[in-house]
Amino acid sequence: EIVLTQSPGTLSLSPGERATLFCRASQSVSTNYLAWYQQRPGQAPTLLIYGASSRATGIPDRFSGSGSGTDFTLTISRLEPEDFAVYYCQHYGSSLYTFGQGTKLEIK
């Protein structure tokens, strides 16, 4: 079973700054099946990125994803107030779906 480890656990930044979030897989995974979600407090998750680098419908272009093999990155180029939330990476493999433990992006 593949384990996804996200870092850092908490990231404290100010609006306007650049955020870089990491997701490391315990073994090499297909980029086709790596996704990122945003979850604001009290809300359901929202799909941001799929296929490691493709933005979901309606997602602003300040969000970008990259990576391959075991290391993946979500970058938010300039933080807006609504971007402060928890972010999860997710992978699919062998009919199972795995989430990372999440990174909390908080206002500094």
Partner 1 sequence: QLVESGGALVQPGGSLRLSCAASGFTVSDYYMSWVRQAPGKGLEWVSIIYTGGSTYYADSVKGRFTISRDTSKNTVYLQINSLRVEDTAVYYCARRFGGSRVFDIWGLGTMVTVSS
Give me the residues that bind partner 1 (CB under 8 A), please.
32-33, 35, 37, 39, 43-47, 50-51, 56-57, 88, 90, 92, 95-102
Shortest distance, position 32 Cβ to partner 1, whole Å? 7
Q: H-helix or E-strand containing 29?
A: strand 19-29
Q: How far is the CB of 45 from partner 1 (least distance, A)?
A: 6
- Helix and strand numbers, DSSP H then E, in the chain: 0, 10
Nearer to partner 1, 76 or 86 (CB): 86
| Spatial contact of 107 and 14, defined as CB atoms under 8 Å apart | yes
Instruction: Select 14 or 95, whichever has its Cβ closest to partner 1.
Output: 95
